[in-house]
Structure 1
Amino acid sequence: MSMFCYQCQEAAGCKGCTVKGVCGKTEDLAKAQDLLIYILKGISVYSVEGRKVGVINKKIDKFITEGLFATITNANFDRGVFLSRIREGLVLREELKNEVAKAGGNVGASNVNENWLKKMLSFVGLKREEESKLPDAATWVGSNVEEFNAKAETVGVLATENEDVRSLRELIIYGVKGLSAYVKHANHLGYDDDAICGFMHKALASTLDDTLTADDLVALALEAGQVGVSGMALLDKANTETYGHPEITKVNIGVRKNPGILISGHDLRDLEMLLKQTEGTGVDVYTHSEMLPAHYYPAFKKYKNFAGNYGNAWWKQTEEFEKFNGPILMTTNCLVPPKDSYKNRVYTTGVVGFEGLKHIENGKNGKDKDFSIIIEHAKKCAAPTEIERGEIIGGFAHEQVFALADKVVDAVKSGAIKRFFVMAGCDGRAKSRNYYTDFAQKLPKDTVILTAGCAKYKYNKLNLGDIGGIPRVLDAGQCNDSYSLALIALKLKEVFGLADINKLPISYNIAWYEQKAVIVLLSLLYLGVKNIHLGPTLPAFLSPNVAKVLVENFGIGGITNVEDDIKMFLGE
């Protein structure tokens, strides 16, 4: 079986990448990721059984969470990392199996010498009944790369032959991958939730269960949405209790004269450590792409060397990293395979990886990471090349919008604001995504855009004006902050005394790219939001029948052209 991957919006031909990923991953890397996911499913089988007898292994929770996150699009391109995780996963699986067995859980096989048991059973003409009760992912073992490669050939996406079952299984897996990102960021700030981890393991294990019907899998996908809301709430709590609630902030997009470090990705804890370690060094810190909303948090404003935001969405990094001149720190997904011309200036940390790049490991015994190598590198570099000037405004997360609630409600009641458009999600390379810039520009001036994620870079620097002092683009933050948009909608529903969230003057025109957008979508469906439009294309992993279910039950739709879509949204 050749490579097959269709987890992101850029899947080749909107069908799937079969030779090399549009993201840049190779066939060998894709298969290593497939095998790791398979191992995580097998570990999850024992984790589910363990939870029934009170066994909750936090080492396992962390391993599965980080393993899922590492397979998100544009996160890690280092095949060696995945081979190491596969080896570690096989060991952890057996350790967990023994732990669950000691607690009285059902682990299928006995804790006796496997070879001896098989020989004895064969001698008396019997077959061990317990073996048939466990899926292959929970029992398969391999010890070298050749065995890993052979197994990977058989466990990819297309191993599930039924198209609709495959579609639903992958929808669930991608949702759980997105959820893992929220959990990982919360964990980094010391926040955790056993129930969320338990569900992720249940979901993974369920994709091995051939007795589950399509209806069962649809229900599981909606349950993923429910847990997704909990995951976003956990991260929101972690961020706001640690760094304060975001507030309206103007962010400089020019440059200073000092050398700088550019930090990209989503991990606020990594940013905090970097800011502390660069204080007084003469090195400034700039955010890039999804790290922009860090400027909205009060805790980061005390750092005098927190210079501003440099550049745009993730996909422009091959141009912007070149011009930045200093080192770049990638903290999470959204890494584009770097050019040789600046490759020596790119550092990775956390789950991010790329062969040949320097990786900053976690601090030992709970200590902070050591970013001194990046700081010393920055001191030897020229200041960033200026690519633009000005300011952009953001910080409209839920508490800030709640503070403006009376003003917003009055504007709606007076007719000054006719409709809100949720245009959250992701940006990407395709020219078709210019649709979102044109859409924002052509929206009537009595409408307001609610956004989160890097999709905002399509319109957050446009001069769209305001309505009675309320900016027409309200940026809640990262894609991780999409929870704010849900809370804002629920608050407006309460304020206007509506029984149905779909009666609000809110339309959803969302750009998607990777798996965090999938969990956001499932969460919105769980909250009862209907008539969400996704673009620039519907996910390739939705089979015709699954897409039909989503259309008929939830009103999921695609996009056409700006003029017709605006008329459709406005009911004209």
Structure 2
Amino acid sequence: MNTKMFCYQCEQTVGCTGCTGNAGVCGKKADTARLQDELTGALIGLARAVDGAETISKRTSQVIMEGLFTTVTNVSFDDAAIETMIQKVRAEKERLVPDCSKCQSSCGKTDEYDMQQLWDANEDVRSLKSLILFGIRGMAAYAYHANVLNYEDAEVNRFFCEALFKIGYEESVETLLPVVLKVGEINLKCMALLDKANTETYGTPEPTAVTLTVEKGPFIVVTGHDLKDLQLLLEQTEGKGINIYTHGEMLPAHAYPFLKKFSHLKGNFGTAWQNQQKEFDHLPAPILYTTNCLMPPKSSYADRVFTTEVVAFPGAVHIDEKKDFTPVIEKALELGGYKEDQILTGINGGTKVTTGFGHAAILSHAGTVVEAVKAGAIRHFFLVAGCDGAKPGRNYYTEFVKQTPSDSIILTLACGKFRFNDLDLGEIGGLPRLMDMGQCNDAYGAIQVAVALADAFGCSVNELPLSFVLSWYEQKAVCILLTLLHLGIKNIRLGPSLPAFLSPNILNFLVKNYGIAPITTPEEDIKTLLNHNK
């Protein structure tokens, strides 16, 4: 195995250039990173095998989605699990192209791709290929969640193959740039699909106050994003005297009517994902990881960690596709939970948070919002959204929200909101100034609100008194950013640092054509953004 690695797909990468040592900042070892590259190369080989096909089978699509999702940061740290996924991809290619692996000639269509070719490519080509690859990795997570609920889109499935194929074959900026923007276009369809899957399965989210208090007695903490896993756990724990608490991006689950009916779905535990090693330390309860957001567990709680779906960590008990959560339930009963109620707080001292302001909830008050803008009661909207992380400087987003003027509305989504979602910022015309729209994939809802407001005022989204202030960490943020670019949205503020995989030329292209800029200080950015539409 190699003793060195190269990875720069997340925001925390060393020196904003790349993790190149024996392990990444995320905790992955060099061998694990090498296996992720091998898996990606195998996926490109599978995409080559189906190139030109009018339809992609559900089986092939699922393998590609699982493979891409496995390579997202903070998903799988288990070399054995990744190796199994590699063999699954190769078996699918063999099924489509029998005896391909035995052939001695290089036909150019089914060979696996050597990722070293990408890392060694011209910096602009490498930059564009990285945007495509990291974008479809993030999109695969959204498609995967929709697929779990039996929703799929043939165009989305075909594009995964198209994008992988382009990574393996195209070698010019001119041919790769349109593919980058197409990632954003197809991701919009993918997010719409997941929005439909979630709302048709669990109902339309409703504004809901969620307590941060943990009641005494046995409980289970569920983290990640997958609502189906939460549903199954709630059903299997009903009547067993075990309470369920969400964590991180699972918080918005409290707003869905179908899930709210379970009385033992009690509240939310902890704050953002990067605080888990501190907040889970000696936790008297098991933690179920359903998607990304896994950090290497400390020994003090490693025996309480359970994984499912593509999430994996060496030594952790994995709940397979049968979805029998008995081991998690037994561990909760064994540990017993807290002896007394624990009144916990958010980062800013609040004892509850509110979620459920999806696009349907906000647009139900569209008339009120429009009139408030016309009357001058609402001067500006800020979408302060995206991923959180451990790097210093992310307190910018807390200070930004605190310093927004009292006649502005803050829309938020994804895990970055945990830096400020327990703040009480008051109301405007009966509407809270701070509205949590949900998970990262609910960026689709924010787009729907922006489009509806633009229609109401007879202008473009870029002419609205609306500013995008985004934080990014991993690949789902990449595909959302590409969707915003596909829609022509300009003047986005991005931080806490710019992606390491943006070459100077590609960054200049984004600045020139879309006005993307790094965050500076809350005071300066608020001043600039408020004056933008004047």
Q: Same fold (TM over 0.5)?
A: yes
CA distance in 1, matches of 2:343, 2:117: 44
The answer for unaligned runs of 5 or more in structure 1 is: 99-110, 119-127, 139-153, 364-368
Matched to 2:492, the amino acid is I
1:321 is displaced (CA, Å) by 1.3
Q: Secondary structure at the match of 1:423?
A: strand
Residue 343 of structure 2 contacts residue 351 of structure 2 at CA under 8 Å; is this kept in 1?
no
1:250-289 alignment, distance < 5 Å: 250-289=209-248
Structure whose alpha-carbon radius of gyration is higher:
1
CA distance in 2, matches of 1:360, 1:352: 10
For 1:422, the equivalent position in structure 2 comes to 383
1:386 is displaced (CA, Å) by 4.2
Matched to 1:262, the amino acid is V
1:63-78 alignment, distance < 5 Å: 63-78=63-78
1:493 is displaced (CA, Å) by 0.7
Residue 282 of structure 2 contacts residue 301 of structure 2 at CA under 8 Å; is this kept in 1?
no
Matched to 2:411, the amino acid is L
1:27 is displaced (CA, Å) by 0.4
Aligned pair count reads: 522
Whether 2:486 is the aligned partner of 1:526: answer yes
CA distance in 1, matches of 2:393, 2:209: 30
Residue 394 of structure 1 contacts residue 474 of structure 1 at CA under 8 Å; is this kept in 2?
yes
1:323 is displaced (CA, Å) by 5.1
Matched to 1:30, the amino acid is A
For 1:465, the equivalent position in structure 2 comes to 426
Q: 1:175 aligns with which of 135, 156, 166?
A: 135
Whether 2:365 is the aligned partner of 1:392: answer no
Q: Secondary structure at the match of 2:298?
A: coil
Q: Normalising by the residue count of structure 1, what TM-score does the alignment of the two structures yield?
A: 0.89
CA distance in 2, matches of 1:491, 1:323: 47
Whether 2:162 is the aligned partner of 1:208: answer no
For 2:62, the equivalent position in structure 1 comes to 62
Matched to 1:343, the amino acid is A
For 1:501, the equivalent position in structure 2 comes to 461
CA distances 1:350-387 after superposition (whole Å, capped 9, x unpaired)? 01000010000011xxxxx1111111110121324543
Residue 192 of structure 1 contacts residue 234 of structure 1 at CA under 8 Å; is this kept in 2?
yes
For 2:334, the equivalent position in structure 1 comes to 380
Whether 2:314 is the aligned partner of 1:339: answer no
Whether 2:121 is the aligned partner of 1:161: answer yes
Q: Secondary structure at the match of 2:335?
A: coil
Residue 4 of structure 1 contacts residue 158 of structure 1 at CA under 8 Å; is this kept in 2?
no
Matched to 2:181, the amino acid is L
RMSD after superposition: 1.7
For 1:80, the equivalent position in structure 2 comes to 80
Matched to 2:396, the amino acid is Y
Residue 447 of structure 1 contacts residue 472 of structure 1 at CA under 8 Å; is this kept in 2?
yes
1:69-108 alignment, distance < 5 Å: 69-98=69-98
1:110-189 alignment, distance < 5 Å: 131-134=106-109, 136-137=111-112, 155-156=115-116, 158-189=118-149
For 1:9, the equivalent position in structure 2 comes to 11
1:395-544 alignment, distance < 5 Å: 395-498=356-459, 500-544=460-504
The answer for unaligned runs of 5 or more in structure 2 is: none
CA distance in 2, matches of 1:286, 1:155: 40
CA distance in 1, matches of 2:207, 2:510: 36
1:57 is displaced (CA, Å) by 2.2
Whether 2:183 is the aligned partner of 1:236: answer no
Change in CA separation of 1:444 and 1:157 when aligned onto 2, cut-off 3 Å: farther
Q: Normalising by the residue count of structure 2, what TM-score does the alignment of the two structures yield?
A: 0.95
Matched to 1:456, the amino acid is K
CA distances 1:466-520 after superposition (whole Å, capped 9, x unpaired)? 112211111110001111000000010111111x210011001100100000010
1:420 is displaced (CA, Å) by 0.5
1:22 is displaced (CA, Å) by 0.6
CA distances 1:105-140 after superposition (whole Å, capped 9, x unpaired)? xxxxxx79956xx6xxxxxxxxx6xx35436427xx
1:155 is displaced (CA, Å) by 2.4
For 2:36, the equivalent position in structure 1 comes to 33
Change in CA separation of 1:38 and 1:459 when aligned onto 2, cut-off 3 Å: same
Residue 249 of structure 1 contacts residue 295 of structure 1 at CA under 8 Å; is this kept in 2?
yes
Residue 31 of structure 1 contacts residue 156 of structure 1 at CA under 8 Å; is this kept in 2?
no
Q: 1:246 aligns with which of 205, 208, 211?
A: 205
